[in-house]
Amino acid sequence: MQKIFLSFCLVFFLAFASSAQVIQKIYFDRFTHYNIDDWVTYAPATDITAVEVGDDYVYFGTRLGGILRYQLYDDYWDFPFTTSSGLRSNRILALSYDAANRKLYARTPRGVDVYNFAFQYWMPAQETMPPPRQPDPEEVRYYLKEKNKARFPAYYHPTLSELPDLFTDRAYLFRKPDQILDPYNRIFHLKDIGVVDKFNRLWIATDGLGPAWINLTDNTLHLSRRSISNIRPRDLFFDGANIWIGGIRNGFEPAGICLWQNESDDAWTYYEEGLVTGIANDNVYAIEGGKRFIFFGTDLGVVRYDKKEDDWQTFTRAQRLLSEKINDLLIVGKKLYIATNRGFNWLDIGFKNIQRSKDSRLNSIPVSRISADDSLLYLATAYGIYRYDPKTDRISVFKTGSAVLDVNIGVVGTNNDTLWFAGDGGIAFRDPKTKNWNSFTQIRMHFYDIAFTPGTVWFATDQGLLKYETAQNYWYLYTTRDGLADNHVFRIDIDDIDMWLSTDSGVTVFRWYRPGKTE
């Protein structure tokens, strides 16, 4: 244990002499500093690559999403094991469970990792990976002798040719030996990878529909989506207990907008362009919503979902959008403000008429982010920060007076009468007490989002999650060494003590506040 501790006790600094600012990075032993569920990543896990049954869980290795876990006795899906849990890669090639020593092994492109249940962390394995768990030889001999296909031995790995005819629900059709047709007649497959548990269930892999299991008593095939679709997440929205997740397609199917229905049956639903009427494009960059409507900013306009009518509609330039490339969405009162690549629009929620300002000075300028205080909107652009007054319909350039150049602004945010912005020239904020600007001109990153918690400002960047503690004047950069799925963080959404981070490799949930924990 001491050797592990010493190998991870490293100090990394980014020092900027001219501004006397230091951004600290990981300098502690990750395994003793964080609990294993302090960082949890949900990544695309539709393609199953390995299946193994342990004492309490069945494990599904995936191509992009680490290891999915189903609790056998309490019947629920636990959070997945990923690089946020200590695995060296989210691509799993093989799994094996050592029942005698209570260890789970995972083979990845970066080597074999082992999970120690006593210490609850993953680490590179020093020993050879054992073979997958095997059934009792006597039970196998009995099965082969009797050919009782209704009852496989526990931990047996049957081939597809040994399976009986299978029944599915109405949404899917099974064709022997391995084809599964989804509701849109796309063909997916069962893989010749499966293992039987103690309860006469065969847990089996698919090549795009996620985990599957077969009830060997009545020969029914059950499919279970357990992850986001094949997207690189860009934003999410909390809709009560449910979560909408959008992003950019990664080239695999199924893809599209995701709805994680936490409040009902813990189900995952995908809404894909070309398959759902009203969705012109499902590459999503921003999500906003309210009681009835959910809005998605895409490459081809604003997509609106009416929960009451279960209806989708896309708004484009035909409805007077200045540009169909949407960068940000913000609801203020009863209006949805829309940041596009050629200015900004707004939509009265519940209506269908896209509106634009009569003041046209922003009509050809890309707007990257929108923020608002009690009376004004602030728009981040490549030419600085603009203010918009909805009462007078006037747009004006906001001269900050900070040391940070007012060009190429990536993000802008307001919090407790304080205006923050960040761009190619650094980070700056206006102190509401002194009326002075504080600038950090040597912090050079690409900024995608800004968020606030009491006493702390958070920035989503291309180098990780950047934290600034205002009282201590302290900067810390969270990276994949801490538990991020990817250092490209695009959005920050805060839900009580959980911070949901949309990254290029999945959505990482960071339990950012825990008493006694410091960086």
Q: Which residues of the chain, if any, have pLDDT below 50?
A: 1-19
Is the C-alpha dihedral spanning 266, 252, 509, 35 positive or negative? positive
Q: What is the pLDDT of residue 330?
A: 98
Amino acid 147: pLDDT: 62
Q: What is the dihedral of CA 45, 67, 499, 304, to 10 degrees?
A: 10
Task: Please provide the average confidence, as pLDDT, over all residues in the chain.
Answer: 91
Report pLDDT digits (tens) over 328-381.
999 999 999 999 999 999 999 988 899 999 999 999 999 999 999 999 999 999
Q: Which residues of 238-267 are buried (b: 16+ CB within 10 A; e: fewer)?
A: ebeebbbbbbbbeebbbbbbbbbeeeeeee
Closest by alpha carbon to 409, among 448, 461, 451? 448
Is the pTM for the entire model greater than 0.75? Answer: yes
Residue 116: its pLDDT value, please?
87
Main-chain phi, psi angles of 18, to 5 degrees: -65, -30
The separation between CA 317 and the C-alpha centre of its own chain, rounded to angstroms, equals 30
Three-state DSSP class for residue 99: coil
Q: What local confidence, expressed as pLDDT, does residue 5 receive?
A: 35
Q: What percent of the chain has pLDDT over 70?
A: 95
pLDDT at 12: 34
